[in-house]
Amino acid sequence: MGNLSRGKYAYMISDRSGQRFPYTEMVQEWNGSWVHITEYEPKHPQLEPKPHNADPEGLQYAHPDRIEPPVIIELTPNPFTTIKYAGSTYINVYSEDHGRSTGNVVRFRGPPEVLIPGTPARETSFRDVPSFDNVTDISNANGFTITVGKINSSGIVSDPLNYFYFLSTSTATTGNVSGGGAECSAGPVTLQA
């Protein structure tokens, strides 16, 4: 093949606009089209994305979630109500959203009491739950096996979300009497740090 002309007097038709431009001002785009330098568009970077690895999900030094030990939950003032049903005394306990199950063993404690003045808060004891309606066993150190719900004097159980009840060894005098005072709590039989 012979020598080619520089084309300084030649014209070329743009593939994009169809207009005539000087041959020396034409450039070829990435897709093979010949266009004037004012019409040139570079290839968009999203047409050739760079490889991207998936985001890492695991941690090198991950620790599994631990099982939290049971803790004391403070109850509202006068959370206990005596119920006489079928010759027995039941105690309804109000504990909002308690999250307990039937068969759990729960120990009830009265207000906290510091054993030695000036010692850290962890050196705390609890008073007994005050007696009411002739019921004196609520502070039993062994706790009580509970049933979820609120029992009435007819034996009908309702509201398992906010109430649970247990069978008392005491005999209530009248029934339907609330008591316990302020700062009572419900929790595990033994406390752990």
* Average pLDDT, consecutive stretches of 10 residues, N- to C-terminus, the chain (193 residues): 81 93 94 94 87 84 83 93 94 93 94 69 76 93 95 94 94 92 91 64
Cα–Cα distance measured from residue 160 to residue 150, given in angstroms and rounded to the nearest whole number = 7
pLDDT of res. 124: 64
Phi, psi angle pair for 30, to nearest 5°: -60, -25
List the CATH number of the domain containing 139.
2.40.30.20
- Residue 187 pLDDT: 92
pTM over 0.75: no
Report pLDDT for 117: 63
Same domain, 174 and 110: yes
My answer on whether 82 and 177 are in the same domain is: yes
Domain span at residue 179 reads 73-187
The total domain count for the chain is 2
